Structure 1
Amino acid sequence: MISVPAGEVTLSDRRTRRRWPVEVAAYELAACPVTQERYAQVTGERPSTATGDRLPVEGVSWLDAVRFCNALSLREGLTPAYLLGSDEDAEWDESADGFRLPTEAEWEYACRAGTDAARYGPLDEIAWHGGNGSGRIHEVGGKQPNAWGLHDMLGNVWEWCWDLYDPEVYGTYRVLRGGGWFDEHWSCRASVRRRSHPTFRIDDVGFRVARTPAR
């Protein structure tokens, strides 16, 4: 887990042409997406299409990711962050010290790592994408990290975030960030937002965990 300092980030949405600033409190974020090996250790399951311990787990829904966070919290003796409700939702206990999904503001703030650039380095050096990925997923940590030591923030797999994408238009759909191994270069930028239903399982979508340190 990487300690991320407090700060501010400005989010944007191309569809609505809206921009909005968000204050971000200090938190911790995993240096890499959750691997298939780690997911299997915690859940006993291997849902991914591709196979490899060091590959990011994919083919996991938003709800799968939330359940993993709770299971990992219990395994580590921490208070679970989520109370599971309906088949498409969960309630976040923000006072809990357990593992959770990052908010999209936390995700973008960590991706940028103190810069205003669309990417934290030359794309081929920092990300697996449609132009260099040979049409497949790759092991985590194989590309250069950003200035804060975070790998694969762009490319390899899209990552689930906590937030609803646009509830008035898309209901329970949740935010995805980061771009994936099959995406064109323009999708692999810090500001790009994608959405998916919280029960959908897709072969280029994974996640990484965050945590709010006990205060």
Structure 2
Amino acid sequence: MPRAPDDSDVPAPAVPVDRLDGTWERVEDATETLFGVEGADVRGHTVVYEDTDLRAAVREATDPSLDQSWRFFFATRLAFRPPLAPGIGPAMVLPSVKTEAVRRFADDLADRGVVGVERGRRERTRTEDRSRVTLRQVTGEVPLPDGDPVPVEGWVGAWADGDIRLAGGAYPRSSLADRFPGAEGQVLDGSAADYRDELFDLVRATG
């Protein structure tokens, strides 16, 4: 969608910057109109962080053309322009926002080179400020020039706490160290369980 001329009309989401040190790098910070609901445009301020060390390690161990985003985390704060009509609060439009968030997240994975994207199970959690969040699983796989594809798992959730927030991300579901033995160091040694736990921690810490 076209980027709006003013990126200052929606505050940035609060993300746990202290937990995003090291391999995480902010690769996007933008505001745009995402979709419409109840006669209003839904504007979203999104920040995206990527594990750029993991991306570089795979690229250096293989053909440089395999420049794939393997692991990322995003957070979005939404606002309505014009504001929602009196009597219609964020919680009332949250179901529609959740549906649209999952659809857009699935499309984003496809844009990142993930094929066979499918929606999966739901899992409930709470943010650190005790807001309830239902996360939706989205799965697929990244095809490789040689060998079996790499399975990928993503999660996305939306919740209302004054404003509506979205957060989620994706990661490989199998060891990249096994797929790319030429890589040096321990960058590829992360497990799907560790990646999932870290993603859920980041989502819970988003405000």
The TM tier, using the shorter chain, reads: under 0.3
Query: When you count helix as a share of all residues, which structure comes out higher?
Result: 2
Query: When you count strand as a share of all residues, which structure comes out higher?
Result: 2
Larger Rg: 2
Which structure carries more relative contact order (alpha carbon 8 Å, separation 6+)? Answer: 1
**TM-score normalised by length of structure 2:** 0.25
